[in-house]
Structure 1
Amino acid sequence: MRKIIQSGSLALMLTVTLAGAAHAGRPAEVTVPTLTGFASLPAATFVPGSEPSGGLVTGNTNGHAVPFADQPVQGFSGIADNGDGTFDVLSDNGYGNQANSADFLLRVHRLAPSFATKTVDVVGGLHLTDPNRLVPWKLTREDRVLTGADFDVESIVKDASGGYWIGDEFGPYLLHFDHAGRLLAAPVPLDGVTAPETAARTGATATLGGSKGFEGLAAAPGGRHLYALLEGTVTGDTPGDLRLNEFDTRTGKYTGKTYVYRLGAPNLAIGDAVAIDRNRFLIIERDGGQGPTAVVKRLYVADKRDRDSDGRLDKTLLADLMNIADPRRLAGPGERFTFPFQTIEDVVILDEKTVAVLNDNNFPFSSGRTAGVADNNEWITIALPSSLHPDKRIFPAHGR
Structure 2
Amino acid sequence: MVSAALLTLSLASPAVADRGAPDFGRATLTGFASLPAETFVPGSEPSGSAIGAGPFNGIAAPFAHQPVQGFSGVVNRRDGTFDVLSDNGYGTKANSADFLLRVHRIEPDPRTGKVTVLGGFNLSDPDRHVPFPLTRADRVLTGADFDVESIVRMPDGTYWSGDEFGPWLLHFSAKGRLLEAPVALDGVKAPENPYLNGAQPNIGSSKGFEGLVRSVDGCRLYPLLEGTVTGDTPGDLRFSEFDLRKRAYTGKRFVYRLESTSNAIGDAIAVDRHRFLVIERDGGQGDTAKFKRVYLADTRDRDGDGLMDKTLVADLLDIANPKRLGGFGETFRFPFQTIEDVNLVDDRTLAVLNDNNFPFSSGRTPGKADDNEFITIRLSAPLHADWRAFR
With structure 2 as the length reference, what TM-score do the two structures score? 0.95
Are the aligned partners of 1:239 and 1:266 in contact in 2 as well (CA < 8 Å)? yes
The equivalent residue for 1:13 is none
The equivalent residue for 1:45 is 39
Q: Offset at 1:160?
A: 1.4
The equivalent residue for 1:263 is 258
Are the aligned partners of 2:7 and 2:349 in contact in 1 as well (CA < 8 Å)? no
Are the aligned partners of 1:300 and 1:316 in contact in 2 as well (CA < 8 Å)? yes
Letter in 2 for 1:190: L
Q: Offset at 1:23?
A: 6.9
How do 1:172-321 residues align onto structure 2 when only pairs under 5 Å count? Answer: 172-198=167-193, 202-321=197-316
Are the aligned partners of 1:21 and 1:113 in contact in 2 as well (CA < 8 Å)? no
Q: Offset at 1:24?
A: 2.5
Are the aligned partners of 2:106 and 2:119 in contact in 1 as well (CA < 8 Å)? yes
Are the aligned partners of 1:89 and 1:109 in contact in 2 as well (CA < 8 Å)? yes
Are the aligned partners of 1:344 and 1:360 in contact in 2 as well (CA < 8 Å)? yes
Q: CA 1:158–1:333 in structure 2 vs 1: closer, same or farther (change >3 Å)?
A: closer
Q: Offset at 1:64?
A: 1.2
Instruction: Tell me, in whole angstroms, the C-alpha distance in 2 between the residues paired with 1:179 and 1:207.
Output: 33
1:71 aligned counterpart, secondary structure: coil
How do 1:88-237 residues align onto structure 2 when only pairs under 5 Å count? Answer: 88-198=83-193, 202-237=197-232
2:359 aligned counterpart, secondary structure: coil
The equivalent residue for 1:360 is 355
2:204 aligned counterpart, secondary structure: coil
Deviates most, 252-261 or 56-65: 56-65
Instruction: Tell me, in whole angstroms, the C-alpha distance in 1 between the residues paired with 2:59 and 2:287.
Output: 23
Letter in 2 for 1:322: L
Q: Offset at 1:222?
A: 1.6
The equivalent residue for 1:28 is 10
Q: Could you report, residue by residue, the CA deviation over 1:119-157 in whole angstroms, capped at 9, with x for unpaired residues?
A: 000001010000100000000000010000000000000
The answer as to 2:81 corresponding to 1:86 is yes
1:46 aligned counterpart, secondary structure: coil
Q: CA 1:157–1:333 in structure 2 vs 1: closer, same or farther (change >3 Å)?
A: closer
Deviates most, 277-286 or 201-210: 201-210
Are the aligned partners of 1:57 and 1:100 in contact in 2 as well (CA < 8 Å)? yes
2:370 aligned counterpart, secondary structure: coil
Q: Could you report, residue by residue, the CA deviation over 1:199-238 in whole angstroms, capped at 9, with x for unpaired residues?
A: 5764332000000000000111121011000000000000
Unaligned runs of 5+ in 1: 1-17
2:192 aligned counterpart, secondary structure: helix
The equivalent residue for 2:70 is 75
Letter in 1 for 2:41: V
The equivalent residue for 1:383 is 378
2:6 aligned counterpart, secondary structure: coil
1:57 aligned counterpart, secondary structure: coil
* Matched positions, count: 378
2:193 aligned counterpart, secondary structure: helix
Letter in 1 for 2:170: L
2:241 aligned counterpart, secondary structure: strand
The equivalent residue for 2:50 is 56
Letter in 1 for 2:358: F
The equivalent residue for 1:9 is none
Instruction: Tell me, in whole angstroms, the C-alpha distance in 2 between the residues paired with 1:254 and 1:25.
Output: 37
Q: CA 1:188–1:269 in structure 2 vs 1: closer, same or farther (change >3 Å)?
A: same
With structure 1 as the length reference, what TM-score do the two structures score? 0.92
1:244 aligned counterpart, secondary structure: strand
Q: Offset at 1:395?
A: 1.4
1:204 aligned counterpart, secondary structure: coil
Q: Could you report, residue by residue, the CA deviation over 1:174-219 in whole angstroms, capped at 9, with x for unpaired residues?
A: 0000101000110000000000001576433200000000000011
Instruction: Tell me, in whole angstroms, the C-alpha distance in 2 between the residues paired with 1:183 and 1:340.
Output: 35
1:72 aligned counterpart, secondary structure: coil
The answer as to 2:341 corresponding to 1:346 is yes
Are the aligned partners of 1:30 and 1:384 in contact in 2 as well (CA < 8 Å)? no
Q: Could you report, residue by residue, the CA deviation over 1:259-304 in whole angstroms, capped at 9, with x for unpaired residues?
A: 0000001110000011001100000000000011000000000000
The equivalent residue for 2:326 is 331
Are the aligned partners of 1:89 and 1:111 in contact in 2 as well (CA < 8 Å)? yes
Are the aligned partners of 1:22 and 1:113 in contact in 2 as well (CA < 8 Å)? no
Are the aligned partners of 2:55 and 2:61 in contact in 1 as well (CA < 8 Å)? no
The equivalent residue for 2:17 is none
Q: Offset at 1:67?
A: 1.0
Q: Could you report, residue by residue, the CA deviation over 1:68-98 in whole angstroms, capped at 9, with x for unpaired residues?
A: 0110000000001111111000000000000
Q: CA 1:308–1:345 in structure 2 vs 1: closer, same or farther (change >3 Å)?
A: same
